[in-house]
């Protein structure tokens, strides 16, 4: 009788400690994924007080002139904690250009360059925001200046996230170089030596602070 009673106990032990089948593992993984909390979809708005848009271009070949745009806006939407699915849009008011020289600013607003009266905004709309590691990203999108839209790539550094000043902020620095002739900023007088008075390549830097909405 004792031997017979042991048989069911041995069978129970075998089934109790038998490894899970692949199907069981898959079902278990599905259950974990089902109850994993996703990153909340988030909208970020530009904190214009703590952001800036600056540019630099060569003058007479031997030096650089710097300028900035004083009026701009932007937003970012993302649902991943590494921002890899970020959708970013940015606008700049052309008439807000400033190089600390009124005559030069008026020339830049004219049809020789931006034609601010007809094309009042520059616009950027992202296509991808690729993480490269070490807080570096490659931001690809379409830039519109005047009536011309072309793809551009920004090298982006992520500064981090902080809870301060009544909200959650993230910081980025984005840099690119734009060939102004690609966007019909066409003024091209040359020096006696043959160099351009105003260089064709414009270095653009955006220091961005965005606040969670």
- Containing structural domain, residue 150: 42-212
What's residue 188's pLDDT?
72
Q: Would you state the pLDDT for residue 211?
A: 97
Residues 6+ apart with CB under 8 A from 11: none
Residue found by looking up tokens 């807080």 in the block: 135
Residues 107 and 49 in one domain: yes
29 and 100, same domain (yes or no): no
Comparison of pLDDT for 5 and 44, the residue scoring more: 44
Q: Quick one: 87 and 69 in the same domain? A: yes
Cα–Cα distances in Å, from 51 out to 36, 169, 211? 35, 12, 11
Q: Which two tokens stand for residue 69?
A: 């745009």
What mean pLDDT do residues 30-54 have? Answer: 73
Residues 93, 8: one domain? no
Kindly state the tokens that stand for 25.
Answer: 């593992």
Mean pLDDT, residues 170-186 taken together: 95
Q: What is the pLDDT of residue 39?
A: 63
pLDDT tens sequence across 63-78: 789 999 999 999 999 9
Instruction: Measure the CA–CA gap between 161 and 206, rounded to whole angstroms.
Output: 17
CA distance 194 to 196: 7
Q: Coil, strand, or helix at residue 1?
A: coil
Token duo for residue 77? 């939407």
The pairing of strands 198-212 and 167-179 is: antiparallel
Q: Are 86 and 22 in a shared domain?
A: no
Domain shared by 101 and 25, yes or no: no
105 and 27: one domain? no
Q: What are phi and psi of 33, to 5 degrees?
A: -65, -35
pLDDT (average), residues 46-73:
89
Nearest of 209, 190, 206 to residue 198 by alpha carbon: 190
How is residue 196 annotated by DSSP? Answer: B
pLDDT-based confidence at residue 165 (cuts at 50, 70, 90): confident
The dihedral built from the CA positions of residue 18, 21, 27 and 30, taken in this order, carries a sign that is positive
Mean pLDDT of 78-92: 96
> Quick one: 23 and 72 in the same domain?
no
Examine the pLDDT at 202 and tell me if it is beyond 70. Answer: yes
**pLDDT, tens digit, for every residue of 98-137?**
999 999 999 999 999 999 999 999 999 999 999 999 999 9
On the 0-12 / 13-18 / 19+ scale of CB atoms within 10 A, 88 is buried
Report how far residue 25's alpha carbon sits from residue 31's, in angstroms, rounded to the nearest whole number.
10
Based on the domain organization, do 115 and 202 belong to the same domain? yes
Kindly state the average pLDDT of the residues 28-56: 72
pLDDT of residue 62: 59
Provide the domain count of the chain: 2
DSSP 40: P
């Amino acid at each position: 009788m004792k031997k017979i009673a042991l048989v069911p106990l041995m069978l129970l032990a075998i089934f109790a400690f038998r490894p899970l089948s692949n199907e069981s593992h898959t079902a278990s993984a599905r259950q974990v994924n089902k109850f994993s909390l996703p990153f909340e979809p988030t909208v970020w708005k530009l904190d214009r007080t703590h952001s800036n848009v600056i540019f630099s271009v060569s003058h007479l070949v031997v030096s650089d002139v710097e300028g900035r745009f004083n009026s701009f806006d932007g937003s970012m939407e993302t649902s991943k904690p590494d921002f890899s699915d970020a959708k970013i849009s940015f606008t700049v008011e052309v008439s807000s250009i400033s190089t600390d020289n009124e005559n030069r600013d008026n020339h830049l607003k004219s049809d020789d360059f931006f034609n601010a009266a007809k094309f009042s905004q520059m616009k950027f709309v992202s296509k991808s925001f690729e993480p490269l590691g070490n807080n570096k990203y490659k931001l690809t999108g379409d830039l519109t200046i005047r009536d011309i839209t072309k793809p551009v790539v920004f090298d982006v550094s992520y500064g981090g996230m902080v809870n301060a000043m009544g909200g959650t902020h993230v910081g980025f620095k984005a840099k690119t170089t734009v060939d102004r002739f690609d966007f019909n900023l066409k003024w091209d007088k040359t020096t006696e030596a043959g160099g351009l008075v105003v260089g064709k390549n414009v270095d653009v830097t955006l220091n961005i602070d965005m606040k969670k909405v």
